Structure 1
Amino acid sequence: MRYLAQVNKNEFLEQYQLRLLARQEAENLWALIPEEAVILLGKGNAMSEKLLVLVELSSTGDIERLEDATSWVLYLVQAYLSTGVTPDFLQQETERAEHWRQALTLQNQDLARRSLELEARREQIQALEESIKKDRNGSHKEEQGDS
Structure 2
Amino acid sequence: MLYLAQVRKNEFLEQYQLRLLARQEADNIWAMIPEEAFILLGKGNTMSEKLLVLVELSPAGDIEKLEEATDWVLNLVQMYLTTGITPDVIQQEVERAEQWRQSLTLQNQDLARRSLELEARREQIQALEESIKRDKNGYKRDDEGC
- State the TM-score, normalizing by the size of structure 2: 0.84
- Equivalent residues in 2 for 1:1-147, closer than 5 Å: 1-143=1-143, 145-146=145-146
One-letter amino acid of the counterpart of residue 26, structure 2: A
One-letter amino acid of the counterpart of residue 81, structure 2: L
- Give the drift of 1:55: 0.7
One-letter amino acid of the counterpart of residue 115, structure 1: S
Instruction: Give the number of aligned pairs.
Output: 146
Identity of aligned residues (%): 79
SS of aligned partner of 1:85? coil
SS of aligned partner of 1:139? helix
Distance 1:61 1:137, change over 3 A: closer
In structure 1, list runs of 5 or more residues that go unmatched: none
Distance 1:50 1:126, change over 3 A: same
SS of aligned partner of 2:76? helix
Cα distance in 2 for residues equivalent to 1:59 and 1:130: 71
One-letter amino acid of the counterpart of residue 5, structure 1: A
What is the CA RMSD across the aligned residues, in angstroms?
2.1
Cα shift readout 1:37-82 (whole Å, capped 9, x = no counterpart): 2222222222122211001122232211100101111111112222
SS of aligned partner of 2:114? helix
Cα shift readout 1:79-120 (whole Å, capped 9, x = no counterpart): 222222233322332232222222212221221121111121
Shifted more, 47-56 versus 136-145: the winner is 136-145
- State the TM-score, normalizing by the size of structure 1: 0.83
